[in-house]
A and B are shown apart, each in its own frame.
Chain A
């Protein structure tokens, strides 16, 4: 995993577009509805999943997210789902469809389905975080009554994430400069000492942070700004997403389109 691109992703969340201005609760809810819709399709479904790509695409286009950033992120993900899905063609060899004399087995169809699901769910999560800054997501979760201790935890983690990753990278760079390319320097014992040092520095940093908070009047409770307003536009966004997901889920739109187009093409239908 690379912290640098996570940083780019983080910066994108602070944009100011129609999508960025939506209430974080609305976006989180809509994303959850979307992911549930994608995941609820039966195993051997590929084609009806494709129009669902409209949701992340709409968010990214209206949110002015550069497509290159998103594509690079998606390609860099380690796809556990893809690894597991790869076995489906091996074990499921029932013929399912026949296209131009080529028999396609169920395994390939379900593998393709997993791939499409993977792309859709990953890009939806990306679209959410690229159009909503993490503090705003936390603010939304707080308004949705997630335990305050957890919200505070996430906000603190986020505040120090890039600071500490920077520190870890510095330690790693220092070690790599001193080992002159030799494998001995990469030993577990060395790394464990470095992680121990990192831990103690972190521990001391926490003490400093605590003292600084006390100096600013910290009394054990954290006050979060409560200025979220769930407007008509937010409600419309959630209802619209849910309706679109429902339509694509329960109506065979893709098949109708195919049949309609097939009527104009000789040889099919």
Chain B
């Protein structure tokens, strides 16, 4: 469930990059306050461990398919919130570059969806349920509940980010239900697998799990210090993401319509607090025929008609054809250029 660049708008991507970078900097700062030299190689090697653990697949109980461990919650339980967040961030960077999961702009959203929830909220839940006794049913329950909550929040994050970016026409409710439904069994299996690994490690090497891998920098965190941080930057992220994306979205989709209705004003678009942005957007709509009907002419009417599928567009055959012809020509030119350059490239000068 990696978010992809193709589904993001610049505003949403940027807002989440900001939120995730802030969390990353904060985590690095907190780790730096309790330096422990042994942690440096351990964290690095555990990042690689996530990839290795994903090679070991297993059958998902009750179905015929096979899956693998995600590993986020396991890292959080073993390393504590800040170190785990850094490790997950490094894993996501490598995944986006070498395995093409997500993308460069989507790193912020992915780190938020897959890192913040398990490392901060999930771990709080796990520790609240498990307490000091890392064994028996409480550990299994704690791991399962923590993983289910953080994965479902991550899945909801994907839905919200996609809707805010305005790239999909899926109705919000159905999209959300679909994603939450798909991720529930996945999360349950992940929770069971996480608990099973923790239990195994405890059985073989007692003390490793309880003592936070024997590191000084990962004491059980107090709820006092963390909750305000999580809540405040969540609020900031949601606010910036919501507000920016609203103005950046070029198409009055369901969400925008819902916001307009909540505000009780049909003219929410015309009275945008950021008129310059709006104007820029109208100017930059390269193919006005591809755009929503006449948003420049009569704002209030267009906003009013936004909820019902507007009447047929003034289809301009000439423009459509010109656009298509231009696209085809560009494609041909680009391909020709590529083939020609590959053909004439000196072959002897190969990189070692």
In the complex, the chain B residue whose C-beta lies closest to that of A121 is B5
CB neighbours (8 Å) of B189 from chain A are 188
- CA A164 to CA B46, docked complex, whole Å: 9
Candidate in A31, A149, A156, A198 with the most chain B CB atoms within 10 angstroms: A149
A125 near B100 (CB under 8 angstroms)? yes
CB neighbours (8 Å) of B199 from chain A are 192
- CA A44 to CA B169, docked complex, whole Å: 12
- CA A17 to CA B350, docked complex, whole Å: 9
CB of B57 closer than 8 Å to a CB of A: yes
B334 near A156 (CB under 8 angstroms)? no
B58 near A186 (CB under 8 angstroms)? yes
B327 near A254 (CB under 8 angstroms)? yes
CB neighbours (8 Å) of A191 from chain B are 56-58, 69, 193
A36 near B213 (CB under 8 angstroms)? no
In the complex, the chain A residue whose C-beta lies closest to that of B346 is A64
Known: A114-B7, A164-B52. A254 touches B28 (CB 8 A): no
- CA A219 to CA B38, docked complex, whole Å: 10
Contact with A along B282-316 (1 / 0, CB 8 A): 00111101110000000000000000011011010
Contact of A188 among B61, B98, B169, B201 (CB under 8 A): B61
CB neighbours (8 Å) of A87 from chain B are 168-170
CB of A140 closer than 8 Å to a CB of B: no
Segment of B85-93, B119-127, B235-243, B258-266 engaged in the interface with chain A: B85-93
B315 near A153 (CB under 8 angstroms)? no
B5 near A147 (CB under 8 angstroms)? no
- The secondary-structure label for the interface of chain B is helix
CB of B205 closer than 8 Å to a CB of A: yes
- CA A222 to CA B35, docked complex, whole Å: 13
- CA A48 to CA B327, docked complex, whole Å: 7
CB neighbours (8 Å) of A254 from chain B are 323, 326-327, 330
Query: When A and B form their complex, which 5 residue pairs have the shortest distance between CB atoms, in order from nearest?
Result: A156-B44, A258-B326, A168-B52, A15-B351, A196-B200
Q: Show the binding face of B for A, using Cβ within 8 Å.
A: 1-10, 13, 24-25, 28-29, 31-32, 35, 37-38, 40-49, 51-61, 66, 69, 78, 86-87, 89-91, 93-94, 96-101, 103-105, 162, 166-171, 189, 192-193, 196-197, 199-201, 204-205, 208, 213, 250-251, 281, 284-287, 289-291, 309-310, 312-313, 315, 317-327, 329-331, 334, 337-338, 341-342, 345, 349-352
Q: Show the binding face of A for B, using Cβ within 8 Å.
A: 1, 3, 6, 9-10, 14-17, 20, 31-32, 35-36, 38-48, 50-51, 53-54, 57, 61, 64, 67, 73-74, 77-81, 84-85, 87-88, 90-99, 106-107, 109-110, 114-115, 117-118, 121-122, 124-126, 128-129, 134, 137, 147-150, 152-161, 163-165, 167-169, 171-172, 175, 183, 186-200, 202-203, 205-207, 209-210, 213-214, 218-220, 222, 249-250, 252-259, 261-262, 265, 268-269
